Chain A
Amino acid sequence: MNKCFAVYLRELLIFRRKEIRQILSMSVSPVLYYVAFGIGLGKGLEVGGKPYIEFLIPGLVAMSSMVYSFGIATEINVARFYWKIFEEFQSSPVSNVSYVAGEVLAGMTRALLAVFIILAVGLLSGVKLYFGIQFWIAVILNSFLFASLAVGLAMLVKSHADQSLLSSFVITPMSFLGGTVFPVENMPLFVQKVLYILPLTHASHAIRGASHGETVGYQPFAVLAVLGLLCFIMAVRVVVKARD
């Protein structure tokens, strides 16, 4: 546990060295989405009988918790390819589970910080949402899933260039298609089926339902938990393979 904390602490210390820049950069996207989609495009629009902005903010929470937890992949690869810090972990008596858990926790922490920023933007704009236990469970599971996926994929890529490909092909499409900025139900039935394969669709559904004060069924939570666990196991396995 201490060794897992050492991995986590290192990421926190790195984050703290550039916290102002990081927090500012985390604030840019939600503010832009809020202005462009919430005010510019969505003013006067209603989704399911609620103002569009109340639909959008939970979607941004889901999106940001994914993007920023997945962002730990970039930190890992900077440490691997540029600073060669990964060798320090590999040559230390740290189990693969501890290493992955430390990095996943760091990814989740970044995601939670990004979520707080979005919630602050929402509160400042007068959007009234509920942040009960189901809301936070959904956020945590979503962050866990994508941080675990990030650690696993970060170990598989061979260069920084591969890293940006991952974002282009995995994260960016999911950001828009995962029920974040429009209701998946508006799409044709066969497209809906495809979109429900995406974990972010389940996260958006759970986060949105919870933040609207509805009781969300167990299904999206179960999907996120199972996929998260599978990604975590995958991450542990590929860390072993990272030793050539």
Chain B
Amino acid sequence: MINIENLQKKYPRVQALKGISLEVGKGELFAYLGPNGSGKTTTIRILTGLTKSTSGSAKLNGFSIEDNVLECKNQFGLVTQAVNLDQELSIRQNLDIHGRLHGMSRKDRDAAIKEVLDYVELADRIDSRVMELSGGMKRRVMIARAMMHSPRILFLDEPTAGLDPVIRRKIWSLIKKIQQKGTTVFLTTHYIEEAEFLADRVAFLQEGEIVSVNTPQHFIDEMGVWALDIMAHGELVTKYFRDMQSLDAFINGRELCCTKRRVNLEDAFIARTGLKIAENGGLNGSAAGASPHGGAHGPHGGGGAHSAQSAHDSSKHSSNKHGSAH
């Protein structure tokens, strides 16, 4: 459904994309992850006709973004990072204009407006002005607008940025529903657990290059099963283990301020994109079964059944609230 070949984008002072090649299948939910400035938004902007590529090619549902621009634009819906609704107009007016821009007849527009607003559960707010809506509602209107002309592909550029966890989950279920209708979804996000929960496949992007593409589970399995977040010398270091015995063996006999948990996609993201805040953190030795990746990040609660246990480093973190383990 999306075919990208050696896509490059060069700005006067920086090369934003250094030759991206990618294929996304029909009905697939594909997450495109990378740190700030890695080229995620540039890729979406090129694919949606907002920016021209410097070289390379891309096709959406078989239509070239360079040679069949207008036909290409009928193939997708776009939810941009920034809210780009007409704030002074009502939801109905925003959607109606979108339908007209896509050449829909009045009858089709009226039917589609009703359908998509039912879908995002905003039918009762149809005549509300956008400026009167909450952030989460605006995002849902943007998704409704993007779906109005029944696109084959939906581009979501950080669709849950700045939303509270409850609204985020509501939007996740909306995205899943859209995918289940057969729409291909191309998602960028900073919330890694969002990609882990939603995506069929994930691409890690770094400095304009794709460093890895695979399923979330594959990335997680590569890292190990258990992770140990350890505070050492003022830095947070994470160690990965294939099994609990290895982890226990690593901790055994040490006084550590640490948290045990299951490995998740964020660990893979940090390791793959080289976002290491600290290497090894001054800890000596590595337990049997530990992954060579030594990423560092804050403790988190997402990504499945976490089993958190703490040990206490009395010398450095005596005021730490963690209890003692092992």
Contact assessment for B49 and A13 in the assembled complex, using a CB-CB cutoff below 8 Å: no
Could you mark each residue 5-25 of chain A with 1 if its beta carbon is under 8 Å from any beta carbon of chain B, else 0?
Answer: 111011001100110000000
By the criterion CB–CB under 8 Å, are A93 and B71 in contact? yes
B101 engages A14 (CB within 8 Å): no
The contact of B100 among A9, A14, A17, A18, by CB within 8 Å, is: A9
Bound CA span A14–B73, Å: 25
Answer yes or no: B59 CB below 8 A from chain A CBs.
no
Q: List residues 142-169 of chain A with CB under 8 A from any CB of chain B.
A: none
Could you write out 28 A-B pairs with CB less than 8 Å apart? A3-B101, A5-B100, A7-B101, A9-B100, A10-B86, A10-B89, A10-B97, A13-B89, A13-B97, A14-B86, A14-B88, A14-B89, A84-B83, A85-B84, A85-B85, A85-B86, A87-B50, A88-B84, A89-B101, A91-B73, A91-B78, A92-B98, A92-B101, A93-B71, A93-B73, A93-B101, A93-B102, A243-B52
| Contact in complex: A6, B49 (CB < 8 Å) | no
Q: How many residues of A contact B (CB 8 A)?
A: 25
| Interface assignment of A90: CB less than 8 Å from any CB of chain B | yes
What B residues does A7 contact at CB under 8 A?
Answer: 101
Judged by a CB distance under 8 angstroms, whether B238 is at the interface is no
Given contacts A13-B97, A90-B49, 18 further A-B contacts (CB under 8 A): A2-B100, A3-B100, A5-B100, A6-B100, A9-B100, A10-B97, A14-B86, A17-B88, A18-B88, A84-B82, A87-B50, A87-B78, A87-B84, A88-B84, A91-B48, A91-B78, A243-B49, A243-B51
Secondary structure class of chain A's binding surface, majority of residues:
helix
Min Cβ gap A236→B in Å is 14
Q: Are B97 and A6 in contact (CB under 8 A)?
A: yes
Q: Within the assembled complex, what's the spacing in Å between the Cα atoms of A87 and B76?
A: 14
Contact present for A92 and B73 (CB under 8 Å): yes
> Is A83 an interface residue, CB under 8 A from the partner?
yes
Residues of chain A within 8 A (CB-CB) of B89 are 10, 13-14, 17
Chain B positions within 8 Å of A93 at CB level: 70-71, 73-74, 101-103
The chain A residue sitting closest to B146, CB to CB, is: A91
Residue of A nearest to B71 (CB): A93
For B30-54 the 0/1 string (1 means CB < 8 A from A) is 0000000000000000001111100
Contact status A83-B101, CB under 8 Å: no
Residues of A within 8 A of B (CB): 2-3, 5-7, 9-10, 13-14, 17-18, 83-85, 87-95, 243-244
**Bound: A90/B49 CA distance, A:** 7
A84, A88, A95 — most chain B CB neighbours (10 Å): A88
Of chain B, the residue at the smallest CB distance from A84 is B84
* A90 with B50, Cβ < 8 A, contacts A2-B103, A10-B86 known: yes
The answer to whether A91 touches B100 (Cβ under 8 A) is: no
> Interface size of B by Cβ–Cβ distance < 8 Å?
27
User: A87 contacts which chain B residues (CB < 8 A)?
Assistant: 50, 78, 80, 84
B314 within 8 A of A: no
- The distance in angstroms between the C-alpha atoms of A47 and B142, with both chains bound, is 58
Per CB-CB distance, the 4 closest pairs between chain A and chain B, nearest first, are A6-B100, A84-B84, A92-B101, A93-B73
CB-based nearest A residue for B53: A244
User: What separation, in Å, do the CA atoms of A83 and B49 have in the docked complex?
Assistant: 19
Residue of B whose beta carbon sits closest to that of A86 = B84
Alpha-carbon gap, A31 to B177, bound state (A): 58
Complex alpha-carbon distance, A137 and B316, angstroms: 84
- What residues of A have a CB within 8 angstroms of the CB of B51 in the complex? 243-244
CA distance A95 to B74 in the complex (A): 12
| A99: min CB distance to chain B, Å | 9
Complex Cα distance A10/B78, Å? 19
CB nearest to B51 among chain A residues: A244
Bound Cα distance A89, B101 (Å):
8
A56 to B84, CA, bound (A): 43
**Bound Cα distance from A5 to B106, whole angstroms:** 13
The reply on B173 being an interface residue by CB < 8 A is no
Interface check B87, CB cutoff 8 A: yes
Give Cα A142 to B82, complex, Å: 37
Residue from B49, B86, B103 within 8 A of A91 (CB atoms): B49
Q: How many angstroms between the C-alpha atoms of A83 and B86 in the bound complex?
A: 7
Residues in B neighbouring A3, C-beta threshold 8 A: 100-101, 103
CB pair A92 B50 closer than 8 Å: no
Distance between B8 CB and nearest chain A CB, rounded to angstroms: 13
The CA of A85 and the CA of B85, in the complex, are separated in Å by 6
Determine whether the beta carbon of B93 is less than 8 Å from that of A13. yes
Instruction: Give A24 Cβ to nearest chain B Cβ, in Å.
Output: 18
Query: In the assembly, what is the distance between CA of A2 and CA of B104, in Å?
Result: 9
Residues of B within 8 A of A2 (CB): 100, 103
Cβ-defined contact, B102 with A92, below 8 A: yes
A243 touches B50 (CB 8 A): yes
User: Chain A nearest CB: distance from B147 CB in Å?
Assistant: 14
